[in-house]
Chain A
Amino acid sequence: MWVYEKKLEYPVKIKTCNPEMAKYVITQYGGPDGELGASLRYLSQRFSMPTEVANGIFTI
């Protein structure tokens, strides 16, 4: 279902160490309202989608 790729979708270059910013980013990513949770919800929602278009969007 998923295949790991040794590459990023978009380049990231962290130039300075910033723990405050890191905390913020990790919360956006894995926190209670984060992207990780949203992505898993999309994966379940696709099963009850009435249109092919919505299926495609949820299954990217």
Chain B
Amino acid sequence: MNDAQEKLMRELMAMEFMAIDLNLYLNTHPYDGRALMIFISTAQRCRMIRDNYERMYGPITASASNSYPWPWIDSPWPWEG
């Protein structure tokens, strides 16, 4: 994994971690409109970064595999750092 790929992956991890935390918070505070707005924009940013990453470096989920040969089995896996 080169520096540019790692940088984009870290950005995605940070954004999605934020989305997960907001998700947890909203489960117990479903009427917090401000948090909901932040969640919506965060989720949108996650999708943008994820699409970018997948276009450049390959699928993050198997269902995003759309090239030949089947790219899902290509490295790196998360534990290969």
Chain A interface bracket (under 10, 10 to 19, 20 to 34, 35 or more): 10 to 19
Number of A-B contacts (CB under 8 A): 43
In the assembled complex, B13 has its CB within 8 A of some CB on chain A: yes
Q: When the two chains form their complex, are residues A4 and B27 in contact, meaning their CB atoms are under 8 A apart?
A: no
Contact among B20, B62, B81 with A4 in the assembled complex (CB-CB below 8 Å) = B62
User: In the complex, how many residues of chain B place their beta carbon closer than 8 angstroms to a beta carbon of chain A?
Assistant: 20
- CB under 8 Å from chain A, chain B span 28-81: 28, 30, 59-63, 77-78, 81
Interface SS, A side: loop
| A contact set with B: CB distance below 8 Å | 3-14, 53, 56-57, 60
Residues of B within 8 A of A (CB): 9-10, 12-13, 16-17, 20, 23-24, 27-28, 30, 59-63, 77-78, 81
